[in-house]
Structure 1
Amino acid sequence: MQKVLVENNADGTTLITINRPEKRNAICAETALLLQKAFQEFEASHTQKCAVITGAGNDAFSGGADTGNFPELWRCIPTVGFKTEKPIISAVGGWCVGGALVLSMMCDLTVSAENGKFSYPEAKMGFTGGLIAGLAARIPHKLAMEMVLLCRMFDAQRAYNVGLINQVVPVGQQVPTALAMAREMTEMSPLVLKTLKRFVTETVLAQGPSEQSGRAQRSLVAVKEDPDAAEAIAAVKEKRKPKYNSW
């Protein structure tokens, strides 16, 4: 079974689905890499203009990081693990837990089914990647701390009331509603949408230390994985000047 499904629609929308319903769509190491790749390909596309990220089924958007196969979660987080200036919408049904809450939080818009449950239990579990700190830049501070420090679960209606999500819809309607939003934006000026998203992401929203670290890690990984890195190593071994091509 493919862990991530990608559907590129002719109307310019892209639907990315975490496809591990038997694991509540938990994000394992491979899933994180596949999501990063899917988002990167969406961003590079000349035809796809707006993406929707969801989880298979209606019981869980995602249970968060798969603790049995722990991922580099930062890789699949919008603006952290991949550069993005195109709009991304999360469509949540059921549980949205831990790292999945971070993923949804970092999207531009969110539609939730009535059964949506938003939870960040890392203080109880004894570990954190720290990316959740950005929640306090997106909803009122005291309510963010209630989720983070007390590990309180917010249902869809409360998440809507505090501004964590944009719309609550009947169960099963979260993806069609998100895709309808996406189609609206495909008819708008891409340059304006990208510019406004970049302004908000880079200059308006506060960036916590884990967010900054993730972006730095993305840049360093890009250098490490570039063919020029292999050329540099080969040149040292062969005692010659390297021939770099990445400009």
Structure 2
Amino acid sequence: MSVVEVREDGPVSIISINRPDRRNAINQQVALDLQSAFAAFDASGQRVAVLTGAGEDAFSAGADFTDLPELWRCIPTVGITTDKPIIAAVTGWCIGGALVAVMACDLCVASESAKFSYPEARLGFTGGMIAGLAARIPHKVAMEVMLLGATLDARRAYEVGLVNRVVANGRQVEEAVAMARELAESAPLVLGTIKRFVTESIMPKGPSELMGRATRELGAVRESEDGREGMRAAREKRKPVYKGR
């Protein structure tokens, strides 16, 4: 069984974390597969992505402590790079790293049962990317979530601007797809330009986000065809032949 499932609904790609037995916790494979799924989406003719989780109990319980992922890989604007819109469809619990992923999406639809929480201060560790929450909702509310571990229910999340729409339980994906279809009728170049301007020039980026981006870019060089050619040439004591890819 795949831990990340992708299905297409017309121009919309629905990308779902598929570990309902573990509340869709993000382990190493989930992070890698989400990054790959979004890379394929970006390279395709699909116009909008909906990010969700299997079942109704949880969008995601965050990082899987038994198999800790490189979480940056599955965070939009960090390990996931695309100018196409991404809509989060959330139901049940959205905890820790999952909240980081949702806050980095462009839009969010939540069911009435959705609950947003970041308990890392009580658990004794953090990846730091949650700091970006303070740029997306009112500062004092963000600090209450990050420092006190306060839980935002769906209505409160809507009131402070983390969520665009609150719908009945079970309708979050349907509503997100409807929103995505509406977006798909607009000019892709305009949507992409606006998103790029916002993510690259308007939204501030914290140290952990910048570190994640740098890790992604350096990894792309290391894992490139030229990177492998350089290593082979060094081992074979010859001049490398680079192709720029």
- Specify the alignment match of 1:189 in structure 2: 187
* Distance in structure 2 (CA, Å) of the matches to 1:168 and 1:134: 22
Letter in 2 for 1:3: V
Query: What is the number of equivalent residue pairs in this alignment?
Result: 245
- Specify the alignment match of 2:21 in structure 1: 22
TM-aligned CA deviation for residue 84 of structure 1: 1.2
TM-score by length of 2: 0.99
Letter in 2 for 1:132: I
Alpha carbons 1:74, 1:80 under 8 Å: kept: yes
- Specify the alignment match of 2:4 in structure 1: 4
Letter in 2 for 1:54: T
Residues 70-219 of structure 1 mapped to structure 2, 5 A cutoff: 70-219=68-217
3-state SS of 2:49 partner:
strand
* Distance in structure 1 (CA, Å) of the matches to 2:235 and 2:38: 36
Alpha carbons 1:82, 1:218 under 8 Å: kept: no
Letter in 1 for 2:97: G
* Distance in structure 1 (CA, Å) of the matches to 2:17 and 2:87: 14
Identity within the alignment, %: 60
Give deviations 1:71-94, integer Å, cap 9, x for gaps. Answer: 000001001002211000000010
TM-aligned CA deviation for residue 238 of structure 1: 1.2
- Specify the alignment match of 1:44 in structure 2: 43
- Specify the alignment match of 1:34 in structure 2: 33
* Distance in structure 1 (CA, Å) of the matches to 2:216 and 2:164: 29
TM-aligned CA deviation for residue 246 of structure 1: 2.1
* Distance in structure 1 (CA, Å) of the matches to 2:8 and 2:107: 19
Letter in 1 for 2:32: L
After TM superposition, the structure 1 stretch with the greater mean CA deviation from structure 2, 101-110 or 237-246, is 237-246
Stretches of structure 1 that go unaligned for 5 or more consecutive residues are none
Give deviations 1:113-149, integer Å, cap 9, x for gaps. Answer: 0000000000001110000000000000000000000
TM-aligned CA deviation for residue 239 of structure 1: 1.2
Stretches of structure 2 that go unaligned for 5 or more consecutive residues are none
* Distance in structure 2 (CA, Å) of the matches to 1:59 and 1:216: 35
Letter in 1 for 2:243: N
